[in-house]
Amino acid sequence: MNPRTRALIQVAILLVVVAGLALVFPRVDAFVERAARELRYFWWLILMVALGLWLVFGLGRKSKR
């Protein structure tokens, strides 16, 4: 499996997990709506998305040693 295919699979899994969590926890929709309206909550949303992306793309990398 080449790195591009692996990255696409990881992104697809991330989207499925996010959609599943939104269905399990309906209050997530209210949080995202409130975060879009108030910037003091919006930076938390950006931080969580950035952390998720870092975990998806950074966790599977091998060290260069």
The confidence score (pLDDT) of residue 39 equals 67
The confidence score (pLDDT) of residue 28 equals 75
Predicted structure pTM score: 0.46
Measure CA of the first residue to CA of the last residue in the chain; give whole Å. 22
Whole-number Å distance between alpha carbons of 35 and 6? 31
Q: Please check the confidence at residue 4 and state whether its pLDDT lies above 80.
A: yes
Compute CA 3 distance to the chain's CA centroid, rounded to the nearest angstrom. 19
pLDDT digits (tens, 9 = 90+) for 23-39: 888 887 787 777 777 76
The confidence score (pLDDT) of residue 65 equals 63
pLDDT digits (tens, 9 = 90+) for 35-57: 777 766 677 778 888 898 888 88
Q: 27 is written with which tokens?
A: 């209050």
